[in-house]
Amino acid sequence: MSGGVDSTAAALLLRDQGYQLVGCTFRTRYTSPESLQAAAALARQLDIPHHIVDYSERFEDTVIRYFRDEYIAGRTPNPCVLCNRLIKFGALMEEADRWGCDKVATGHYARVQDGQLYRAKDTKKDQTYFLWQVSPEQLQRVIFPLGDLTKQEVRAYLETKGLTALAHAGESQDICFIKDDYRTFLNLPPCPGAYRLTDTLAKVNTSRAPLCHQGYAHYTIGQRKGLGVALGESAFVTHIDAARNEVTLGTHDELYTHDVRLRDVAFYGDPSLPVMAQIRYRSLPQEAYLVEGGVHFTEPVWAVTPGQSCVLYQKNRLVGGGLIQ
């Protein structure tokens, strides 16, 4: 329970369905006092026990360390995927056992059936992309009350419960611990290095001035703004070499590829069938085939970014994923 729109609606829906509830709110160094107060107030309204569990150190030692280490390695992490596996569906399962709970519920937009994950009814809010590392065994105990609702329907439901202000509250941010910019959060010192140009971009660059950057960790694949150079054509980050502190710039079209290498792959589907693969949360899934070491896309995909997740679907069922190399 975060005190926000989705977790509040999930708790109310379960109460209306006759479930006996126990509320749990995680506290980290980034949790606002207001959200703790809102979660506690809802628990009082529902007349259910409510626990605030301090995971500050655990969160720092897992999610935050991973987030920092990935940028230092020249990759772009997705901390929500790891947090779901280790905290929201790892630690939460431990608390559920301690309190004698059979099931665990959250406000994610997703559907689960027989330990298998399916896309939510609201495709614009679907959050299965962030849940691919949650195991089928864990999913056996999970309920997603919002999976068959749209966000608009969730807000309308809160209105019927008299929670008008909450029903019109804004969306939460993508990464809960980032308030401004990840570079500010990580306190990355400038580490000047040299840009390298691809052959295509070098041909249109007439400048002889040194091409310097702030340090490889300040950049991500596909980035166009904030490069600090003028080359006569739009430039994009196409490669990051952490060992050499080198950032390669190229053209838009040089970022297209058919083949994506993956590590830490999990797959639960039919390997003989194509998959719909999604390489970032905001991108559309595209047809691909499993190959040794990764996936091959039928049509090229743009700006494949090491560290991000490539999540695999067959129809509306999530059948696995992997981390992009």
Radius of gyration of the chain (CA): 22
- Give which of 13, 111, 8, 49 is closest to 317, Cα–Cα: 111
The amino acid that residue 282 corresponds to is R
Catalytic residue, candidates 24, 80, 83, 310: 83
- Terminus-to-terminus CA distance in the chain, angstroms? 35
CA geometry: angle 168, 173, 178, nearest 5 deg: 145
Q: Is 83 a catalytic residue?
A: yes
Residue 74 phi/psi, 5-degree rounding, is 85, 15
Task: Please enumerate in sequence order all residues whose Cβ is within 8 A of that of 319, keeping only pairs 6 or more positions apart, or say none.
Answer: 267, 268, 269, 270, 275, 312, 313
> Distance of alpha carbon 93 from its chain centroid, rounded?
20
Residues 6 or more apart whose CB falls under 8 angstroms from that of 150 comprise 121, 122, 125
Query: Which one of 176, 191, 212, 310 is the catalytic residue?
Result: 176
Reading phi first (left if > 0) and then psi (alpha if -120 to 50, else beta), residue 155 is in alpha
Sheet bearing 212-213, strands edge to edge: 212-213, 193-197, 246-250, 236-241
Task: Indicate which residues carry an active-site annotation.
Answer: 83, 176
